[in-house]
């Protein structure tokens, strides 16, 4: 009888333990902070999923920059991707800073941006994976035809900025934390100047809008070469300083996939498929052949790096 009581007590103890574990384990899993996956872990994370279309991801949400939009490159590429895969790409064009904010919120699946330091910070914070730098062009300085600051004869971009500041010639800045704005601020810093005063205005506009405004107001500004190629024939602005051999003025574009562990609802399989597609030799060749007014405006990184 005493043995039976001991056995029943032991059974009751084990049952109670199992019940406690059954309650606590889901709770612990739910509240354990998600870890930052390595590249190998992310691939494993995605390998068990269905294909993008069968998984219901027939739409890819992309945030890109206004400079990419203004070049109309995606108007050429995306229909080819959609025709081959059945996946529609919905694009929102904003400055790089705003694009990265959309990624941080999980509001997009993939980013096409051009501000390396901001991109690296985004990755380090655990919001993105598989950052792939695959294209470049360059930044240049444009301004009014009469060139009141005399920058045409400057030997460096820093010298151009110094002359503009000394002349207090009107200068328009993106002022939106975009890749172009970030590079402009780096040039001012390198020139040893903090721009301020009525001659310097931050307007918070995209690249095309900024160029049109600079044309109307007779102002200097920094632009990317692709947007400039598309608009230069429609503006009262001249190309005043351009140096394709200056690494400081090279403008690199990267793709970043939004982290599926941080944002489980993103279409990670679809984004991975798009990354593989756009960096394939066939598509890079298509990009290399894309011209505006006979001018090549994007260069695959593989044509630059050994």
Burial 112-136 (b: 16+ CB within 10 A, else e): bbbbbebbeebbeeebbbbbeebbb
Is the domain of 264 the same as that of 131? Answer: yes
> 218 lies in which domain range?
138-249
In a domain, 194, yes or no: yes
Per-residue pLDDT, 95: 82
| Averaged confidence pLDDT in the chain | 82
Per-residue pLDDT, 57: 60
In a domain, 111, yes or no: yes
Per-residue pLDDT, 97: 85
Last residue of a domain, which of 249, 268, 283? 249
In a domain, 132, yes or no: yes
In a domain, 23, yes or no: no
Q: Per-residue pLDDT tens for 24-38? A: 333 222 222 223 333
List, in order, residues 6 or more apart from 140 with CB less than 8 Å away: 222, 223, 224, 225, 228, 239, 241, 242, 249
In a domain, 276, yes or no: yes
Is the domain of 269 the same as that of 226? Answer: no
Within 13 Å and on the Cβ side, how many CA atoms surround 85? 27
**Under DSSP, is residue 128 helix (H, G, I), strand (E, B) or coil?**
strand
Is the domain of 145 the same as that of 283? Answer: no
pLDDT band with cut points at 50, 70 and 90 for residue 7: very low
Residue predicted with more confidence, 12 or 191: 191
CATH of the domain at 244: 3.40.190.10
Q: Per-residue pLDDT tens for 14-70? A: 334 433 333 333 322 222 222 333 333 333 444 334 444 444 468 999 999 888 888
Residue 71 main-chain phi, psi, to 5 deg: -75, -20
Question: How many distinct structural domains can be found in the chain?
Answer: 2
Is the domain of 82 the same as that of 106? Answer: yes
Question: Which residue is it, tokens 């190309």?
Answer: 239
Is the domain of 102 the same as that of 164? Answer: no
- Whether the full predicted model's pTM is greater than 0.85, yes or no, is no
């Amino acid at each position: 009888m005493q043995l039976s009581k001991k056995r029943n007590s032991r059974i009751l103890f084990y049952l109670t333990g199992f019940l406690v574990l059954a309650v606590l384990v889901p709770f612990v899993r739910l509240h354990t902070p998600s870890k930052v996956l390595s590249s190998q872990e992310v691939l494993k994370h995605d390998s068990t999923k269905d294909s993008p279309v069968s998984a219901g991801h027939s739409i890819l949400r992309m945030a890109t920059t206004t400079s990419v939009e203004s070049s109309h490159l995606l108007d050429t590429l995306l229909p080819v991707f959609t025709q081959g895969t059945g996946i529609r790409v919905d694009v929102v064009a904003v400055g790089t800073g705003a694009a990265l904010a959309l990624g941080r919120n999980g509001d997009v699946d993939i980013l096409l941006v051009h501000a390396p330091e901001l991109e690296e910070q985004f990755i380090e914070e655990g919001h993105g994976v598989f950052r792939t730098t695959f294209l470049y062009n360059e930044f240049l300085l444009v301004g009014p035809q009469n060139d009141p600051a005399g920058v045409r004869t400057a030997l460096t971009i820093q010298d151009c900025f110094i002359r503009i500041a000394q002349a207090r010639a009107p200068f328009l800045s993106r002022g939106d934390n975009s890749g172009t704005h970030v590079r402009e601020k780096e040039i001012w810093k390198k020139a040893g100047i903090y721009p301020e005063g009525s001659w310097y205005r931050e307007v918070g506009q995209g690249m095309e809008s900024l160029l049109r405004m600079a044309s109307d107001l007779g102002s200097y500004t920094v632009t990317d070469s692709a947007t400039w190629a598309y608009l230069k024939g429609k503006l009262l602005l001249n190309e005043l300083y351009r140096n394709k051999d200056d690494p400081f003025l090279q403008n690199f574009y990267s793709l970043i996939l939004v982290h599926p562990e941080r944002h489980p609802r993103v279409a990670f399989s679809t984004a991975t498929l798009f990354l593989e597609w756009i960096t394939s030799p066939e598509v890079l060749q298509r990009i290399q052949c894309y011209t505006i007014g006979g001018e090549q405006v994007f260069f695959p990184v593989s044509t630059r790096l050994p």
